[in-house]
Structure 1
Amino acid sequence: MKRSLIRRLTGDERGVSAIEFAMLAPVLIAFYMGMTEFCQGFMAQKRMGHVSAMVADLVAQEEEMTPAMIDDIFDIGGLIMKPFPTTTLHQRVSSVTSVAGVPTVDWSRAEGMTARAVGSTMTLPADLVAAGESVVVAEVTYDYDSAADYLMPGLTRFSHVYYLRPRTVDKTLCPTCPVT
Structure 2
Amino acid sequence: MRFRFPALRRFVKDERALAALEFALIAPMMLFLLFGAVELTNGLETAKRVENVSASLSDVISRDNEVSDEDLEDLWAAIDPLMWPEPSAGLRARVTSITIEDSDTATVVWSEAHNGMTARTQGAEIELPDAMMIAGTSVVLAEVEYPYAPVLDFVFGPNGLNHMLNPSAQTHGAFTITKETIRRSRLVDPIPRA
What is the TM-score of this pair, normalised by structure 2? 0.82
Report what 2:133 is aligned to.
129
Report the CA distance between 1:160 and its aligned residue. 1.1
Report what 2:180 is aligned to.
161
Unaligned runs of 5+ in 1: 176-180
Pick aligned residue for 2:51 from 49, 52, 58: 49
What is the TM-score of this pair, normalised by structure 1? 0.88
Q: Is residue 2:142 matched to residue 1:144? A: no
Q: 1:30-64, CA deviations, whole angstroms, 9 ceiling, x for partnerless residues?
A: 11101111111111111101111010011111111
Distance in structure 1 (CA, Å) of the matches to 2:10 and 2:98: 83
Equivalent residues of 1:134, 1:165 under 8 A apart = yes
Report what 2:95 is aligned to.
93
Shift in CA distance, 130/9, structure 1 to aligned 2, threshold 3 Å: closer
Q: 1:2-43, CA deviations, whole angstroms, 9 ceiling, x for partnerless residues?
A: 965554333221010011101110111011101111111111
Equivalent residues of 2:109, 2:190 under 8 A apart = no
Alignment of 1:22-101 (within 5 A): 22-100=24-102, 101=104
Distance in structure 2 (CA, Å) of the matches to 1:159 and 1:17: 47
| % same residue | 33
Pick aligned residue for 1:115 from 97, 101, 119: 119
Runs of 4 or more, structure 1, over 6 Å off, are none
Report the CA distance between 1:162 and its aligned residue. 0.6
Count of residues paired in the alignment: 174
Shift in CA distance, 34/91, structure 1 to aligned 2, threshold 3 Å: same
Q: 1:96-141, CA deviations, whole angstroms, 9 ceiling, x for partnerless residues?
A: 0023442111111110201111111111111413222110111111
Q: Is residue 2:194 matched to residue 1:172? A: no
More off after superposition, 20-29 vs 125-134: 125-134
